[in-house]
Amino acid sequence: SDAKKSQIPILALTATSLEEIKEELGKIGFDDYVPKPFTPDLLYEKISKFERKRKPASD
């Protein structure tokens, strides 16, 4: 369903590490970004941030 899709975070991988890019990416639908080169720990941290925000659906 569309509601389920809206809960999937969209992360951009970008060579730009400027904070200004975050606002620009947000305008086009990204939830956050990971600047390259990135470490697996940074990618995991970004993904985990969204996992903590998710709430289980009640039946």
> What is the set of domains in the chain, with CATH numbers?
2-53 (3.40.50.2300)
Contact (CB, 8 A) for 30 and 10: yes
Around 10, how many Cα atoms within 13 Å sit in the side-chain half-sphere?
10
Could you tell me how far CA 15 lies from the centroid of its own chain?
A: 16
Report if pTM > 0.95. no
Pairing mode, strands 32-35 and 11-14: parallel
Q: Determine the Cα–Cα distance for residues 44 and 54; give it in Å rounded to an integer.
A: 16
Cα-Cα-Cα-Cα dihedral sign, residues 38, 40, 41, 47: positive
Dig out the tokens for 50 from the structure. Answer: 């969204």
Per-residue pLDDT of the chain (59 residues; tens, 9 = 90+): 555 556 788 999 988 878 788 889 999 999 999 988 899 999 999 989 888 776 665 55
